[in-house]
Amino acid sequence: MNTIGIILAAGASTRMSQRKQLLTYKNKTLINNIASLAERLHLAESVCVTGYLHKELQEALKGHAISLIPNPNYQNGMLSSLQVAVRKIIEDQSCNAILIMLSDQPLITEYHYSSLLNLANKRNENIIATAYRETFGVPVIYKRKYFEKILELQNQPTKTLIKNNLDDSLFLRCEEAAYDIDTDQDYQNLIAGRYE
């Protein structure tokens, strides 16, 4: 299966005093961590949707085999960024699926991403999502069946597609997905090892 990885990194980190994509964790920025991980997954291709920090991320990702897709309307939220990527990817008929990845979930292991991809290859379900606590979400794989449905969403989280298609969804638990870095306190907890 030809899967393209989509790293969503367009936001302005308005709830933080620093730009989270460029925060350091284990001697690398968060964006470099997820970019390196994406490269190790042997995806057909990886892209990164940029916005607020386009020039900074362009510089940070030099040397990585990752294409940048600017989202001029990044203020409209994560769905807007995903749709920008899907509009570009949908033209590639060889692409069977997309893997949505975020830079602010640094505790999710490479093993979890690989397991999602393995399930997508082996199973017939068209959505392979991450389950954690009492919910589910990213990282998530959507097969081509859902590309147009993603583009049709309006002011809804893509999680809506999962909720409305539970019979076509498979879930893999990863409690580390609960720890996304959205505030300064989240980052302090991360570097202090309180989430590990």
Q: Note the pLDDT tens digit of each residue in 95-106.
A: 999 999 999 999
Does a structural domain hold residue 196? no
Whether residue 108 is predicted with pLDDT greater than 70 in this model: the reply is yes
Rounded to two decimals, what is the model's pTM?
Answer: 0.95
CATH of the domain at 138: 3.90.550.10
Q: The domain containing residue 85 runs over which residues? A: 3-191
Confidence of residue 196 (pLDDT cuts 50, 70, 90): low
Residue 94: the pLDDT is: 94
Percentage of the chain modeled with pLDDT above 90 = 86
Amino acid, single-letter form, for residue 101 = M
| 8 A C-beta contact, residue 39 and residue 80 | no
Total domain count for the chain? 1
Q: Please, what is the end-to-end C-alpha distance for the chain in angstroms? A: 33
Q: Pairing relation of β-strands 127-132 and 135-143?
A: antiparallel
192 band by pLDDT with thresholds 50, 70 and 90: confident
Q: Is residue 91 part of a domain?
A: yes
The region, left, alpha or beta by phi > 0 then psi within -120 to 50, assigned to residue 145 is alpha
| Percent of the chain surpassing pLDDT 70 | 99
Look-up of token digits 């990585």: 64
Give the pLDDT score at 150. 97
